[in-house]
Chains A and B, each alone.
Chain A
């Protein structure tokens, strides 16, 4: 065991504040990012809950809910080896009018309703798909019922002036801004044409499945090159792109950045102060080593090693708490998405902060003089 780690273990109470501060910083960052990612997962639901490998849309589409009409004839462009038959997906904002009056923006998601259709949301049961094949029928998420002024299957609403009937309620397709309204191609086209006649022969996206993920990447790259006027993304990329767009557009990322920075700053200050005090407490021992001719950099190295171990212990202690609190938040209905990238990123940031605190604490080493030992 290194001298630094041994000292940390022996003087646990002295270092507890620093370790606690580091753990708190790591916890704050990981939980905040996890919560935000969980929140913004809702923005890419149409991508994540379908089984297409490639999404083709209008040029420069920043997010799945901001597609523009493209000619359905682009379908022919997707005729390539290893690529299955393309499907249309209508996805656009529309105005939902409640039976009781008042209206709400919603997002129409119109896809094929076959059992094997790539564009149909995976949680739509065969019964729902069958019911949706009847024109002017829709399925919505349970969490959006109030916003849409409906309560149960059979209730009605009006979208862009077209009266629709609720034929199913799902519970995993929550929305952030405008409720997702799932329906068939026919229903979607009828609703969207009212406000945008282009939808007579246009679609919002073309979806295809490929023989493999690898083939999907190749095809996406080829299509991007051949047709710069279309946006071509693999499903994974489009999902990420959508979430990042929402994260930046809503400035939630900025708010998160500030909160994380504040957490790191407080963590750094407390850790620096802890290390400073610990070094000063050992000033006589270090002064003796300096008198014996031990280079000052060795002592600085020990302080930095201590800051490293404070960081490691803090991060290790933080994660069980992060997972615990994450689970707690999920029971309360919030999603906490603790991806490994989040854990790794929070750990790296926190470790860097801890070591930076060690660098600040080095001024204590500069002040140590062997002469102080001679009265």
Chain B
């Protein structure tokens, strides 16, 4: 347990978040607590409108909770992400957080390699040559070595999502959030994407937090949560759940 707590990368403590006022007020998160670890591939499932995206946004430093804490590590120190000033939080995301969204959101004019370069050059003021090398190496590792000079219009959906994964991973973040990363893909490509995310967890020690409706991801994850009506529950062994889903 001691080792596990040393490996804690993100901790949510008693998070609540509501939207609207008065009679319109809707609780999206009700006292949600959650521990995530280095190298862990976590999945969050739940019906539409259950608050999944809200939880992802709060955990990743994009949406302020009404109460509760999001604790993480920054340079060996524990920080409360929502106690940081906006500029510090932006810097925290820059240093530690990667995102993958359902839409690929790639610049139409830029090549696959440039989509990654821009993150390094604008985010970390990395030199052009270093950004070029690191981006190329990342795309090689994602199996896109021969596609790196192509623009999004010349890439398939699966390739585009892999470029988006490359963009999230290239700066070497410890926390990677993915919102429905496979929903626009067929299962062959979806499986490849999930495999790459799992590799990132296992080889880079990153924490992967995926929000998805896709039950086919379950066999690949270390831990799965279910969120409904703002309440979070850890699901029993993901593999068992997956088995149940498949047979039912």
Contacts and interface: CB of A to CB of B under 8 A. Distances in A.
Query: Do A and B make up one complex?
Result: yes
A189 B123 CA distance: 81
Nearest to B52: A374
Interface string A1-33: 001001101110000000000000000000000
A289 interface: yes
Interface in B99-127: 99, 101-103, 105-110, 114, 118-119, 122-123
Contacts of A7: 107, 109-110
A294 B57 CA distance: 17
A374 B53 contact: yes
A285 B105 contact: yes
B73 to A, nearest CB: 16
Interface in B77-100: 90-95, 97-99
A374 B62 CA distance: 10
B162 to A, nearest CB: 15
Contact of B92 (A282, A293, A298): A293
B63 interface: yes
A289 B56 contact: no
B98 A292 contact: yes
A131 to B, nearest CB: 72
Contacts of B108: 10-11
A3 B119 contact: no
Interface in A267-303: 282, 284-285, 287-289, 291-295, 298
B121 to A, nearest CB: 9
B227 interface: no
Contact of A298 (B105, B114, B122): B122
A375 to B, nearest CB: 6
A3 B62 contact: no
Interface in A325-375: 370-371, 373-375
A143 to B, nearest CB: 55
A3 B107 CA distance: 10
A166 B114 CA distance: 77
A289 B179 contact: no
A287 B102 CA distance: 13
A374 B106 contact: no
A119 to B, nearest CB: 64
A292 B102 CA distance: 15
A294 B62 contact: no
A371 B107 CA distance: 19
A283 to B, nearest CB: 9
Contacts of B122: 289, 294-295, 298
Contacts of A293: 90-95, 97, 123
Contacts of A292: 93-94, 97-99, 119, 123, 167-168, 171
A374 B179 contact: yes
B109 A374 contact: no
Given A293-B94, A374-B62, A375-B53, A287 B109 contact: no
Nearest to A9: B109
B62 A285 contact: no
A292 B118 CA distance: 11
Interface in B155-177: 167-168, 171
Given A6-B109, A294-B122, 15 more contacts: A3-B107, A6-B110, A11-B109, A282-B107, A293-B90, A295-B90, A295-B122, A298-B122, A370-B99, A371-B57, A373-B105, A373-B179, A374-B54, A374-B56, A375-B102
26 contacts: A3-B109, A3-B118, A6-B110, A7-B107, A10-B109, A285-B107, A287-B105, A288-B101, A288-B105, A288-B167, A289-B122, A289-B123, A291-B93, A292-B93, A292-B123, A292-B167, A292-B171, A293-B93, A294-B119, A298-B122, A370-B99, A373-B99, A373-B105, A374-B54, A374-B56, A374-B57
Interface of A: 3, 6-7, 9-11, 282, 284-285, 287-289, 291-295, 298, 370-371, 373-375
Interface of B: 53-54, 56-57, 60, 62-63, 90-95, 97-99, 101-103, 105-110, 114, 118-119, 122-123, 151, 167-168, 171, 179
